[in-house]
């Protein structure tokens, strides 16, 4: 869908406080046409991709300032993570040559028979999800086979746990597990990828493992229907009292509950989502200066813990609330994040929401604000989400674009911002995808019936996939 933008409408949004432009932008013109913004996003994705292609091809991540690479999962071993993360984005952006080259690299090089201890959560959302989405985009059977192989190698985390709540790490070759204290997000942000794996392979063991983990943790909720954050998988008990949701490491625990309903029609998941969300809204929602935030509380008593910080990672919660039926609260929370963007230009990792003082000044090229803008736009077609997302795009190109691609920021307070040297692989899965789909249209995406994972993988919503013979 395209929207014709008038300068008057744009200035009205600005005057209403729905958008504030970087210096010089307000005078410049109304927003460019959505199609030209989508084209710009595609160009910027290609700029980042070419940096990775030139200096880190086949490694997990690019270090664009030093033209070097980063191994994400294990020292001295890369899985081509950025390639896996990019597959479905390449498809949606119509970058077919790049997609073909990526598939060829994976066909020749991808193996999970590695003697390395791997973080299960990251492997699921990035690799299993990326391979499933890549399979959905291309129809390449070896991608699904690789996802199944990796999923099987991750299952000891669940199978060896006496409670069914997974250990955090597993050795991909030996199946040895480690780290018995996990957290909400790591324990349960797998039901979407494992559910898809079960659906696509006909083997229900993946979904069954993911469901059992949710069930075991939710059984330990307090009388208030709040949850602790860290969980001992051997003793089946929380190891702390703080309910930090929607901040990490609780964040995607709730996202995947709603997703299990939306994607698989899991009625228990919907019921659990409602129960737990009602408690979050009752005990944790707070208003400061008219803005909506979420405070940490003791999960047994509901008493505020005193921490007044918000992590940028929590910005996704605006879209989740809206998707889950609390649209007005989600929109209000998004507006709070827009106020943070107004203040900081790029939202830092952690800040105090009572006075906007910065706790962690880095910006890790996080996608959560753009994620919420995209889903809220899809739900409402309210122009404010495009205005604010465009402003975010301008900030990204102004501060994070470097000759060799895009890079993280170490300190958003300095002028110019102090840069770090990393292009996280999730940027290929998330930031550019959300921004492209916010402004562009493609016959390859069903904008009315999509579902994306926490890592931005298209689990539902492909059209016209390029199915080929295996
Ligand atoms: C991504 O890996 C996923 O979105 C995850 O759920 C947490 N956030 C990072 C990017 O910020």
Question: Binning pLDDT at 50, 70 and 90, where does residue 465 land?
Answer: confident
pLDDT over threshold 80, residue 15: no
3-state DSSP helix/strand/coil % of the chain, to nearest 5: 50, 15, 35
| pLDDT score for 26 | 39
Give the residue from 35, 33, 38, 72 showing the smallest Cα distance to 56.
72
Q: What is the mean pLDDT of residues 351-359?
A: 98
Instruction: Determine the distance separating the centroid of ligand 1 and the alpha carbon of 461, expressed in angstroms.
Output: 20
> Quick check: 333 pLDDT over 80?
yes
Q: What DSSP line would sit under 346-366, residue for residue? A: S--SEEETTTTEEEE--B---
pLDDT bin (cut points 50, 70, 90) of residue 432 is very high
- H-only helix segments in 24-171: 25-28, 34-55, 81-92, 96-109, 120-122, 129-138, 141-154, 156-159
Average pLDDT over residues 24-32: 58
Atom of ligand 1 nearest to the CA of 189: 6
Instruction: Annotate 382-429 with DSSP letters as a single string.
Output: -HHHHHHHHHHHHHHHHHTEETTEE--EEETTSSSPEE-S-B-THHHH
Residue 327, pLDDT > 50, answer yes
DSSP string, 176-187: -EE--EEEHHHH
d(CA 369, CA 381): 16
CB 427 within 8 A of CB 400: no
Q: What is the pLDDT of residue 306?
A: 86
What's the whole-number mean pLDDT along residues 294-307? Answer: 96
Nearest atom in ligand 1 to 248's CA: 7
Residue 15 or 356, more confident: 356
**Distances in Å between the alpha carbon of 436 and those of 59, 208, 366, 441?**
25, 35, 16, 8
Instruction: Count other Cβ atoms within 10 Å, centred on residue 128.
Output: 29
Q: Is the pLDDT of residue 9 over 70?
A: no
What is the 256 CA–ligand 1 centroid distance (Å)?
A: 13
Q: Which of 38, 50, 140 is nearest to 92 (CA)?
A: 38
Helix residue ranges, H only, 202-312? 205-218, 251-264, 267-283
Question: What is the pLDDT, as a whole number, of residue 464?
Answer: 82
% of the chain with per-residue pLDDT over 70: 93
Instruction: Give the pLDDT confidence score for residue 298 in this predicted structure.
Output: 98
Q: Which phi and psi angles does 24 have, rounded to 5°?
A: 90, -20
**pTM for the whole thing?**
0.93
Q: At which residue do the structure tokens 């008593």 appear?
A: 301
Mutational pocket test of ligand 1: of 60, 119, 366, 430, the residue with most ligand atoms within 8 Å of the beta carbon = 430
Residue 237 pairs in a beta bridge with 232
Cα–Cα distance, 343 to 356 (Å, whole number):
8
Ligand 1: list residues with CB < 6 Å.
Answer: 125, 252, 313, 366-367, 426, 454-455
Q: Which of 124, 252, 311, 337 to mutate to test the pocket of ligand 1 (most atoms within 8 A of CB)?
A: 252
Strand, helix or coil for residue 9: helix
Peptide bond into 371 cis (omega under 30): no
Per residue in 61-104, pLDDT tens? Answer: 999 999 999 999 999 999 999 999 999 999 999 999 999 999 99
Q: Within 10 A of 35 (CB to CB), how many other CB atoms are there?
A: 12
Compute, in angstroms, the gap from residue 348 CA to the centroid of ligand 1.
15
pLDDT, residue 29, reads 56
What are 97-156's pLDDT values in tens digits? 999 999 999 999 999 999 999 999 999 999 999 999 999 999 999 999 999 999 999 999
């Amino acid at each position: 869908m395209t929207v014709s933008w008038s300068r008057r409408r744009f200035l009205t949004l600005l005057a209403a406080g729905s958008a504030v432009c970087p210096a010089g932008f307000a005078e410049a013109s109304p927003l460019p046409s959505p199609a030209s913004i989508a084209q710009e996003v595609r160009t910027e994705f290609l700029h980042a991709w070419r940096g990775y292609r030139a200096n880190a091809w086949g490694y997990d991540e690019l270090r664009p300032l030093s033209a070097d690479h980063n191994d994400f999962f294990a020292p001295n071993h890369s899985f081509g993570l950025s390639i896996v993360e990019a597959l479905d984005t390449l498809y949606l952006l119509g970058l077919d040559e790049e997609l073909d080259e990526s598939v060829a690299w994976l066909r020749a090089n991808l193996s999970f028979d590695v003697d390395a201890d791997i973080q299960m959560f990251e492997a699921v959302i990035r690799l299993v999800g990326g391979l499933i989405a890549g399979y959905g985009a291309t129809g390449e059977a070896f991608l699904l086979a690789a996802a199944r192989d990796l999923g099987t190698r991750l299952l000891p985390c669940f199978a060896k746990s006496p409670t069914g709540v997974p250990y955090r790490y597993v050795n991909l070759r030996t199946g040895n597990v480690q780290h018995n204290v996990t957290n909400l997000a790591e324990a349960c942000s797998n039901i979407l990828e494992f559910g898809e794996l079960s659906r696509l392979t006909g083997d229900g063991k993946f979904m069954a493992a993911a469901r059992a983990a949710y069930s075991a943790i939710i059984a330990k909720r307090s009388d208030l229907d709040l949850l602790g954050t860290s969980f001992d998988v051997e003793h089946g008990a929380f190891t702390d009292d703080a309910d930090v949701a929607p901040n990490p490491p609780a964040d995607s625990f709730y996202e995947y509950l709603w997703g299990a309903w939306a994607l698989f029609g899991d009625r228990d998941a919907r019921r659990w989502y409602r129960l737990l969300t009602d408690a979050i809204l009752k005990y944790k929602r707070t208003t400061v200066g008219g803005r909506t935030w979420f405070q940490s509380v003791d999960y047994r008593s509901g008493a505020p813990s005193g921490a007044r910080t918000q992590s940028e990672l929590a910005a996704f919660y605006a879209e989740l609330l809206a998707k889950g039926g609390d649209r007005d609260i989600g929109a209000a929370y998004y507006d709070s994040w827009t106020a943070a963007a107004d203040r900081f230009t790029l939202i830092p990792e952690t800040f105090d929401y009572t006075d906007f003082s910065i706790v962690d000044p880095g910006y890790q090229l996080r996608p959560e604000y753009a994620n919420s803008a995209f889903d809220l736009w899809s739900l409402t077609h309210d122009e404010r989400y495009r205005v604010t997302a465009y402003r975010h795009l301008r900030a990204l190109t102004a501060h994070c674009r470097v000759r060799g691609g895009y890079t993280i920021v170490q300190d958003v307070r300095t002028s110019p911002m102090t840069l770090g040297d990393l292009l996280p692989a999730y940027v290929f899965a998330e930031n550019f995808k959300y921004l492209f789909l916010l402004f562009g249209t493609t016959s390859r995406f069903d904008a009315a019936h999509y579902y994306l994972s926490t890592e931005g993988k298209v689990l539902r919503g492909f059209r016209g996939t390029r199915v080929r013979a295996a």
